[in-house]
Amino acid sequence: MAQVLIIDDEDMVRMVLRQTLEKAGHGVTEASNGAKGIAAMKDKKFDLVITDIVMPEKEGVETIVQVRLDNPKLPIIAISGGGRIGPADYLEAARQLGANHVFAKPFDRKELLATVEACVAETA
């Protein structure tokens, strides 16, 4: 069982991810923006971070950079529905800054879960 931090400003996205991951046996902590996610990482050790890109307070790209500085080997999955420029550009930036995997919203839950499992297995 992995401890996963989900960072997304959309309640429904966090709920879907939580349900998917908990059903697979993982522990989940939620944060509604990058600032809260980084704060949660100071209190608890995580095996994986799933972060949205476009969020208030601390964007996902800033969050990825901070996670990489604090914990260079922690796997990161970036997700995005886009924004003004569309998800592809945001996700490419996320990948270049250190995200191990990227998914555009809406994402396939089975594919995302398989990626979570692979990330966790790689770091175990």
| Tens-digit pLDDT profile for residues 102-122 | 999 889 999 999 999 999 998
**pLDDT reading at 34 higher than 80:** yes
At a CB cut-off of 8 Å and minimum separation 6, what does 19 contact? none
CATH number reported for the structural domain that contains residue 37 in this entry: 3.40.50.2300
Identify the domain containing residue 88 by its residue range. Answer: 3-123
Task: Specify the number of domains making up the chain.
Answer: 1
The pLDDT value recorded for residue 31 is 98
The pLDDT value recorded for residue 23 is 97
**pLDDT reading at 86 higher than 70:** no
SS3 of residue 7 by DSSP? strand
CB atoms within 10 A of CB 44: 10
The pLDDT value recorded for residue 70 is 94
**pLDDT reading at 82 higher than 70:** no
Q: Kindly list the strands in the beta sheet with 101-104, ordered across the sheet, starting from the edge strand earlier in the chain.
A: 27-31, 3-7, 48-52, 76-80, 101-104
